Amino acid sequence: MATFATTPRFKADFKKLTREQEARFRRVVTGEFAPDVQKGEFRPGLRVKGVQGAPGVYEMTWGRDGRATWEYGDERFPGTPHVIWRRVGTHAIFNPGPP
């Protein structure tokens, strides 16, 4: 199964999620995203795509207005994808602003 790490910005964003948002994000990551990243093929409902103007950074949808950005990191174990979570929240995470 894939390995994961988080950035300080992601941790700050995560603290701002409601309990419901946090639970939904965790369910989607565990039940859909993690198995898909391991396969290297994402189901359409996750809407995984590259972030414009940020090469190597991807976004995914985990709720109606739930978004998260991530990038691949160096594998910790051969053949096991490593994901670094960058941001999480609503679509507002794409708006520039203070960290």
Residue ranges of the domains in the chain? 3-94
Cβ-contact 58, 48 below 8 angstroms:
yes
CA separation (Å) from 92 to 39, 59, 78? 29, 13, 35
Task: Kindly give, in sequence order, each residue whose CB lies less than 8 Å from that of residue 50, ignoring residues fewer than 6 positions away.
Answer: 57, 58, 59
The total of other beta-carbon atoms located within 10 Å of residue 51's CB is 17
Report pTM: 0.91
Reduced 3-state DSSP string for 18-43: CHHHHHHHHHHHHHHHHHHHHHCCCC
Tokens of 73: 């990191």
Name the residue type at position 40: G
Residue 85, exposed/middle/buried by CB under 10 A (0-12, 13-18, 19+)?
buried
16-43 pLDDT, tens per residue?
999 999 999 999 999 999 999 999 999 9
75-90 pLDDT, tens per residue?
999 999 999 999 999 9
- The CATH superfamily holding the domain 3-94 is RelE-like (3.30.2310.20)
